[in-house]
Amino acid sequence: MDFSLTEEQQLLQDSINQFIEREYTFDDRKKFLDSEKGFNEENWKTFGSLGWLGMPFSEDDGGYNGGPVDVMVIMENLGKGLIVEPYVPSILLSGKILADLGSDEQKSNYLHPMISGEKIITFAYIEPQSRFNLSDCLTKATASDDGFVLDGYKALVHNASASDTLIVSARTSGNQCDEKGISLFLVDASAKGVSLRNYSTIDGGKASELTLENVTVSKDSLLGKMDEGFMFPAKSFLSNFNSSGLWQIQQHVDGQTKNLTQETMDGSIFEFKDGTAVTAEQVRKSAHYQSCAYRQPQIVYQLVHYHLSK
């Protein structure tokens, strides 16, 4: 079986690498992280104009019909550049939800501008008490004459401070941990009653705690079917995410790890207590170094934190 990249995929890889080399030094990355939004908006628009944001979506949805390997190429090579733009939370997570559940009008108003790089959308679904049980949802959506009123709290909402729109999970029926009874809503990030407590994550990115107090949304803000919001993100989405999405994220992590370990170790000489010394190249070839592959996500976080603290 031939696992070589196609000519188009090789061109895609080359274009990303050229962009990273020209526009994304480590100093640039630190500058982007220190900005108010935590990334560069012009870079995001460039990603859109180059087709990277539209790759996972069908032509009917305004995308480029890219498959898992195409997205893998993007993820791995953006990972090599340690990019801080919200490709995973906005494109692979929120974009997937919009593509699968959105009406034609919702796709036109939200998905298409996101693919072009004009909008940032993120998914607010984690609650402090829910841990790993995504059906544990206390945020409520109460029906009103004009639509719904949302009240509740979400934790660890990635890039919420830079987002134009939030996709919020809220309970519309049932008990706290029931799978049925959760619905998804499109909420304007600047709507009255929406407040954020922003903070930096361990890798220097941006996240927020989201509070919703009497937030009014229209009936058109309902995404998908009433009471069936959990069935998509927790089952349909996550089962798909576990197969192709997590593979794509692993490629992103692989790219980050290769870059960081190369930068951290190049030219280094490691000296031990007994006076012996080894070069970085010898460390790379050691069995212990090779066995660390399964710990790549942890290594990434540790190395990024090390660099940001310098």
What secondary structure does DSSP assign to 121-183, as a single string? Answer: EEEE---TTTTT-TT----EEEE-SSEEEEEEEEEEEETGGG-SEEEEEEE-SS-TT-STTEE
Last residue in a domain, options 65, 96, 115: 115
- Position 286 scores a pLDDT of 47
pTM higher than 0.85, yes or no?
Answer: no
Residue with tokens 């693919």: 115
210 close to 160: Cβ distance less than 8 angstroms: yes
Looking at the structure, tell me whether residues 24 and 94 fall in a common domain.
yes
CATH of the domain at 189: 2.40.110.10
Considering 60, 91, 115, which residue would you say is the last residue of a domain?
115
Number of structural domains found in the chain: 3
Which residue reads 């949805």 in tokens?
61
Same domain, 98 and 146: no
223 and 127 together in one domain:
yes
148 and 101 in a common domain = no
In a domain, 46, yes or no: yes
78-106: b (≥16 Cβ within 10 Å) or e: bbbbbbbbbbbbbbbbbbbbbbebbeeeb
Of 228, 257, 274, the last residue of a domain is 228
Considering Cα of 71, then 74, then 80, then 82, what sign does the dihedral take? negative
Length of the chain: 310
Retrieve residue 101's tokens: 């559940």
152 and 106 in one domain? no
* 63, HSE (Cβ side, Cα atoms, 13 Å): 23
Is residue 1 a part of any domain in this protein? no
Decide if 278 is inside a domain: yes
Cβ–Cβ < 8 Å for 32, 40 = yes
Tokens of 288: 């212990």
Is 206 contained in some domain?
yes
Q: Is 197 helix (H, G, I), strand (E, B) or coil?
A: strand
CATH number of the domain enclosing 65:
1.10.540.10
Q: What is the pLDDT along the chain (310 residues), one digit of tens a residue?
A: 667 889 999 999 999 999 999 989 888 988 999 998 999 999 999 999 999 999 999 999 999 999 888 998 999 888 888 899 999 899 999 999 999 999 999 999 999 999 999 999 999 999 999 887 888 999 999 999 989 999 999 999 999 999 999 999 999 999 999 999 999 999 999 999 999 999 998 888 899 999 999 999 999 999 999 999 887 654 544 444 444 444 444 444 444 445 545 555 455 554 555 555 555 555 445 444 444 443 444 444 444 344 444 4
Whether residues 249 and 299 fall in one domain: yes
Residue 2 lies in a domain: no
In terms of residue numbers, what domain contains 106? Answer: 7-115
Kindly state whether residues 178 and 164 are assigned to the same domain: yes
